[in-house]
Amino acid sequence: MSGLPHRAAPFGRPAPSRPLVPDAAAPRRRARASQDRILTVEGLSLGFGGAVAFAGIDLAVAAGEIHAIIGPNGAGKSSLINAISGLYAPQAGRVRIGEASFARVPAGRLAALGVARTFQNLALFKSLNVVENILSGLAGARRAGLAAHVLGLPAARREAAEHRTRAEAVIDLLQLGAFRARAAGSLPYGLQKRVELARALVAKPRLLLLDEPMAGMSAAEKAEMSGFILAARETFGTAIVLIEHDIGVVMRLSDTITVLDHGRRIATGTPTEIQANPAVIAAYLGADDEEDETEGEVKAA
Amino acid sequence: MATALPLDLARPRRTGAAGILLLLALAYGLVPLLGTGYLFEAILTPFLALALAGLGLNLLTGYAGLLSLGSAAFMAVGAYAAFNLSLRLPGLPLPATILLAGLVAAAVGAVAGLPALRLRGFYLAVSTLAVQFFVAWALNRIGWLSNDSPSGIVAAPRLEVAGLSFDDARGRYLFSLTVVAVLTFLAWRLVRSPTGRNLVAIRDHETAARIVGVKVARTKLLAFALSSFIVGIAGVLWAFAYLRTVEPAGFNLDRSFQILFIVIIGGLGTLRGAFLGAGFIVVLPLVLSRLGAAALGDGFDSGTLEMVQRIVLGALIVAVLIREPAGLAALLDRALNHALRRVRPRS
């Protein structure tokens, strides 16, 4: 793939502002990846009735890596995230999270496995305030029992104080201080997205699944959110699987990109590799411009 | 309905604490001094029992979002459990009897909550309705539960704790007040605890709650158990302190609906809502009968009162659901905030 000539970005966007990783770095990255891989998806397939959501998907995410999943609408990106987080039951394949391997990931154990996620459509606890929403991200980390909390026993008070400190750290990181006591449902859309990220981050997950964290945002909001995602990786060393439609954002943020089209993985590689990949270009041209659809399919084939 | 804020951080905490202390001082200090037997027996004691039942149901329906039409059944379980405990274990002190009766109701509640693991909303409500009818049937069929009394009606034991008698009207009021105050404090601690947060999380977004690590099934059963514990003890107060008899008719489906209306009118997902709603439900018939007597004279008999009461209550519930889904609690908050804003800048 690296043998392909480097082409101008086919996505109608400026070239990535981040310095491009030279090819020499790629082997080193892969070596590290195989040592501490956090997520491995092998041959995962999912269909609803007769419709195939995705089929035979392989994916590998290393600790601390930002791995974007891109593809046209209906490519199966969200379904893949939902299958990885146990909301959908795949018909074939396995998902390995850390050392544990599953045919169907138990959604209720996700937090204990060190996985957190956000949702494409907001999934906040809208009548709880911002602090409470973020604290609820620590539900899986709770050790003191109900009686200890109701009676205010020392163990419960220590735990509450510790959780409060952790929540405040995330509030500082994502600059949510001014909205602490606001009900989450009363906040504007962009802030709700940020609170959801905060709720996912507070548990310091090893793996964070972000399903379109910037959908519907302005350019300025996207830049801000990109900064928060990078800061989150920096601070907690979290590996991030990111679904995002804005290719400019994806190129700037990602270490690795996987491209899905019609439920199939058509490419995986560094941003540079993906930009140069003919199958990807075909899929995107085909999906972006309906008149060119047949032409795109011919190229992809 | 889901917009009620369980923890209102915007309101200064000190004002709230001062308000509660003031209310307690009035309830323990002034009211027993000035109150009449009628006030204690016909208004305050039933108010306290119903408020406690509303508080218990609110944990389940208001906080966890699980609709129940079986509150009266859990009250009955509590009342009959307390009756049997005091009958069959004569040496047991009254507080222990009440605690154990609450635990029996909690156990029945947890079993009744099992369908909640699969059902929601309307379907769950119907399954709790089955509990209501099952308990009524069991109390009629199993004579042992009412000590083989042919009518199912039995006299409640005397209210005595450590040699102190609470058997007069004022005593029964003070006894109820104490039980309600203790349980309300514990419920307040509960809704502010991580468990309280989990209840609301399940109500607002069950999938997200599961993903962040809330044990959804366990928490739902816990909500049923905790709610039934409180509702069961409310049943003990209703039978022992208010009616002074234990009878199945006191815990029929009408009572279940009454408690649900208390919670809806008072405010779902708030603790004070149960008290406001119960106060409203207890005072409404009195106000209506006065108004009716003044307007119609002798033509306004108890049958008419009953009918007017139902019509007014029904209309009010519709009005509340449309105009103020957060109930009287939200109205009160707005009035208080308004008053505080007027006072604060000058002080």
Amino acid at B323: R
Residues 178-217 of A with CB under 8 A from B: 180-181, 183, 185, 199, 203
State how far residue B262 is from chain A, nearest Cα, in angstroms: 21
Sorting pLDDT into bands at 50, 70 and 90, what band is B75? very high
For residue B9, the chain A residues in CB contact (below 8 A) are 129, 131, 180-181
User: pLDDT tens digits, residue range A237-296?
Assistant: 999 999 998 889 999 999 999 999 989 999 999 999 998 888 888 887 664 444 444 433
Report the C-alpha gap between A176 and A170 in whole angstroms: 8
User: Nearest CB to B212: which of A156, A185, A199?
Assistant: A199
Contacts B186 to A, Cβ<8 Å = 150
A148 to chain B, any CB pair closer than 8 A? The answer is no
Q: What is the mean pLDDT of residues A5-11?
A: 40
H-type alpha helices, chain B: 13-25, 31-34, 37-38, 45-57, 71-88, 94-112, 121-141, 169-192, 194-204, 206-211, 216-236, 253-266, 271-296, 302-323, 327-343
Number of Cβ pairs < 8 A linking chain A and chain B:
110
At residue B2, the pLDDT reads 41
Q: What is the pLDDT of residue A27?
A: 42
Tokens of A275: 């930009």
Please give the angle made by the CA atoms of A94, A99 and A105, to the nearest 5 degrees: 40
Residue burial B64-78, b: 16+ Cβ < 10 Å; e: rest: bbbbbbbbbbbbbbb
User: What are the pLDDT digits (tens) for B218-271?
Assistant: 999 999 999 999 999 999 999 999 998 888 888 999 999 999 999 999 999 999
Q: Is A262 on the interface with B (CB under 8 A)?
A: no
Say what the pTM is: 0.85
| pLDDT digit string, tens, across residues A163-180 | 999 999 999 999 999 999
Q: How many CB atoms lie within 10 A of CB A290?
A: 9
Average pLDDT over residues B320-338: 85
Flag whether the ipTM exceeds 0.90.
Answer: no
Tell me the pLDDT tens digit for each residue of A130-152. 999 999 999 988 888 899 999 99
pLDDT single digits (tens) A242-257:
999 888 999 999 999 9
Looking at residue A296, what is its pLDDT? 37
pLDDT band at B341 (very low <50, low <70, confident <90, very high): confident
Q: Cβ separation of B201 and A181 shorter than 8 Å?
A: no
- Give the whole-angstrom CA distance, residue B60 versus residue B203: 10
Question: Are residues A96 and A59 in contact, defined by beta-carbon separation less than 8 angstroms?
Answer: no
Chain A positions touching B189 (Cβ under 8 A) are 149-152
| Residues pairing with A242 in the sheet | A68, A210
Contact A127 B5 (CB under 8 A): yes
Rg (CA), chain B: 20
Question: In Å, how far is A115's CA from the nearest CA of chain B?
Answer: 9
> Which pLDDT belongs to residue A285?
67
pLDDT value, residue B120: 82
d(CA B285, CA B305): 7
Whether A139 sits inside 8 A of B209 (CB atoms) is yes
Tokens of B284: 């409404």
| Average pLDDT over every residue of A156-163 | 94
Q: Which residues of B touch A183 (CB under 8 A)?
A: 3, 5
Average confidence (pLDDT) over A178-195? 93
Structure tokens at B135: 């308990």
Q: How many CB atoms lie within 10 A of CB B33?
A: 8
pLDDT at B344: 63
Shortest distance between the Cα of B341 and any Cα of chain A, in A, equals 19
Of residues A208 and B344, more confidence is placed in A208
In the predicted model, is pLDDT for residue B155 greater than 60? yes
Q: Does residue A16 surpass a pLDDT of 70?
A: no
Residue A141 is classified by DSSP as: G
What pLDDT sits at residue A186? Answer: 93
Please give the CATH architecture assigned to the domain spanning A27-114+205-300.
3-Layer(aba) Sandwich (3.40)
From the list A139, A150, A180, which residue is nearest B212 (CB)? A139
Structure tokens at A167: 């929540």
Phi then psi for residue B333, to 5 deg, are -60, -45
pLDDT (tens digit per residue) in B274-319: 999 999 999 888 888 888 777 777 767 778 888 888 888 888 888 8
pLDDT of A2 above 80: no
- Please compute the mean of the pLDDT values over residues B143-168 and round it to a whole number: 81
Q: Which residues pair with B195 in a beta bridge?
A: none
A203:B212 CB<8 A: yes
Residue whose structure tokens are 């947060």:
B197
Is pLDDT of A25 > 50? no
CB contact under 8 A, B6 and A150: no
Q: Where are the domains of chain A?
A: 27-114+205-300, 124-202
pLDDT band (50, 70, 90) for residue B336: confident
Query: Tell me, what's the pLDDT at A256?
Result: 95
A41: helix, strand or coil? strand
Whether the pLDDT of residue A300 is over 60: the answer is: no
How far is Cα B229 from Cα B71, in angstroms, rounded to an integer?
A: 11
Averaged over B183-205, what is the pLDDT? 95
- Mean pLDDT (chain A) is 84
Q: Please indicate whether, in this complex, the C-beta atoms of B2 and A127 are within 8 angstroms of each other.
A: yes
Give the mean model confidence (pLDDT) for residues B54-67: 95
Asked if A143 is an interface residue toward chain B (Cβ–Cβ < 8 A), one would say no
CA distance B207 to A157: 28
Give the residue from chain B lying closest to A120, CA to CA: B208
Look-up: residue for tokens 């490519």? Answer: A75
- Two tokens at A190? 């962009």
Query: What is the rounded average pLDDT of the residues B21-45?
Result: 87
Contact A38, A206 (CB under 8 A): yes
Complete edge-to-edge strand list for the sheet that includes strand A256-261: A115-118, A207-211, A239-243, A66-70, A256-261, A264-269
Q: Of the candidates A146, A180, A181, which has its C-beta nearest B193's C-beta? A: A146
Residue of B nearest to A111 (CA): B213
A58-62, B21-25, B61-65, B99-103: the lowest-pLDDT one:
B21-25
**Rounded Cα distance, A265 and B307, in Å:** 69
Which of B204, B205, B212 comes nearest A137 by C-beta?
Answer: B212
DSSP three-state, residue B299: helix
